[in-house]
Chain A
């Protein structure tokens, strides 16, 4: 057990400084000084920053969130345009998407390494298990409610 701890900790600590070192190097030198007035380059900077520094799983969550937003907007637009006739169906469909969005956002907060200090007692595995459990309940509820 001790060796494992010893081995694992240096690697994580070494990774963290390297990331921390990498960001300052990229930001002040290239993007901050010269083209600060150009909005496109700012957006490019944000995108680059995001794609470089965000963990793989958080990116996955973000993609899923985006997908849910699109699905939810489509359902709502349909309701506005075509009417809410089977109202329970609208509620079920829309709340399935919204609820899934909320649960996924919660997962993102809990599993984000940046928030580790706030959720000391919640490991990423535990957060994911909670997420799966709540999602299943949500799906059961919605399929039942749409009748």
Chain B
């Protein structure tokens, strides 16, 4: 009786828990990588300056918390776990950030999968950010260096310095995923300093400076730049690093890009006839969405490999034989803001399967074979090479702007069993030698018969005599 009661209770709590779970998952319709955002911003005044951007984040499901940089209780971690999923660093009013935001702590934060969006302004690049940038191989200009462009500046804001420069969206490339391209005639207003990128393979530019832009020391009173610090398309306005664990750190050279002022600004290029609205709002949303993992997240749903020619062959066996015909399938989805969509390989790129034992023996393209509502299946078939050993199916797809795919599954490749070789009579080339053996044996039988028949006469005489 009591036992029954207990089980009844248990089922009831399970039922309740189920509903609580359902409720929680409905309420927290958070982004894929988590919705806890820490915005390190100095004053209330500042937050109203960037209210459009911050409200946009909140509207997309982020729980944005504003904290001053020097707050003592501020911490990125609690009990070794990160307390925030994403961090936005606005430039501080004073010399630097508090002890919670040292470069080491920020890197540790990214090691745990957190994303960081760093906004800088020329007058205030704190030492912590410089150190972090140095570690990422991003070159930041010295204090008070600004980027100007005398050909792509905004004529509406009437700045003598030409420091509000108008950058185009990055060009569409057929070889990479385009998350920042938008419309091609969009203009993005930028007031700040560009930076340079080192050779790190994990660094990617998000917005490149126009050809005629350059960075110089604004404190020097020259009408022109004596000695530009960086110039042209080698200089980046916004760039990012995607770590090997797919955590993203984005560095923006201009905090004004994200301000309400620039979101609503009408700008005009020299030579154009009428002012147009900036695309800052859309571009900044793209940057934040990509940094916080709403875009460019690729997921491997399933991997299958099996013998091509046998309909009932087991899926994902541990062993194949040399010269087997094998089919390999991989199902990929890509996250797009709020749902999983089929992953598409750009037209100028190719998803490849490697069949490796130390070195790739084969590197074959995986082609889309079927698409469901939220995933694409890429398939390829090939013949296993004439080499036995432990091989691996490997898909190593590391491209800028998307999370890294590196899948590896080992299989054993055995040689032919002794009864699996082709019989000699099935190979027409062997017929001559089969005939050779046959003739030899027949000849031998005939020889034996003749030998026995032609016994020497002497022995016969002897036998006759005895009888």
Which positions in A face B, CB cutoff 8 Å?
A: 4, 7-8, 11-12, 15, 55-57, 60-61, 64, 67-68, 71-72, 74-75, 78, 82-83, 85-86, 88-90, 92-94, 96-97, 100, 104, 128, 132, 135, 139, 142-143, 146-147
Contact = CB atoms under 8 A, between A and B. Distances in A.
Interface string B197-223: 000000000000000000000000000
Contact of A92 (B433, B443, B454, B466): B433
Interface in B233-247: none
Interface string B421-435: 101100101101111
B441 interface: yes
Nearest to B429: A85
A57 B430 contact: no
10 contacts: A4-B466, A7-B465, A8-B462, A85-B427, A86-B424, A86-B433, A89-B430, A90-B430, A139-B444, A146-B433
Among B436, B458, B462, chain A packs the most CB atoms within 10 A around the CB of B436
Contacts of B443: 64, 67-68, 71, 100
Nearest to A59: B454
B433 A93 contact: yes
B461 interface: yes
Nearest to A1: B466
Contacts of A90: 430, 433
B465 A146 contact: no
Contact of B451 (A11, A128, A142): A128
Interface in B4-21: none
B437 interface: yes
B439 A89 contact: no
B440 A71 contact: yes
A25 to B, nearest CB: 22
A89 B434 CA distance: 7
Interface of B: 421, 423-424, 427, 429-430, 432-437, 439-441, 443-444, 447-448, 450-451, 454, 456, 458, 461-462, 465-466
B451 A146 contact: no
B435 to A, nearest CB: 8
A56 B454 CA distance: 7
A68 B454 contact: no
A142 to B, nearest CB: 5
A57 B454 contact: yes
Contacts of B456: 55-57
A146 B450 contact: no
Contacts of A96: 436-437, 440-441
Given A7-B465, A11-B461, A83 B429 contact: yes
A99 to B, nearest CB: 9
A135 B427 CA distance: 26
Contacts of A92: 433, 437
A146 B429 contact: no
B462 A71 contact: no
A146 B444 contact: no
A89 B437 CA distance: 10
B465 A93 contact: no
Contact of A75 (B433, B447, B448, B454): B433
Contacts of A93: 432-437
A57 B451 contact: yes
A147 B440 contact: no
A70 to B, nearest CB: 10
B440 A100 contact: yes
Given A89-B434, A100-B440, A132 B448 contact: yes
A82 B429 contact: yes
A29 B444 CA distance: 41
A60 B433 contact: no
Contacts of A11: 458, 461
A90 B423 CA distance: 14
A146 B458 contact: no
A60 B447 contact: yes
Given A15-B458, A147-B423, A71 B441 contact: no
Contacts of B451: 57, 60, 128
A1 B388 CA distance: 71
A12 B461 CA distance: 11
B440 A68 contact: yes
Contacts of B421: 147
A60 B449 CA distance: 11
Contact of A78 (B432, B448, B450): B432
Given A8-B462, A89-B427, A96-B436, 11 more contacts: A60-B451, A64-B443, A64-B444, A85-B430, A86-B424, A89-B429, A89-B433, A89-B434, A93-B432, A104-B447, A146-B437
Nearest to A97: B440
Nearest to B430: A89
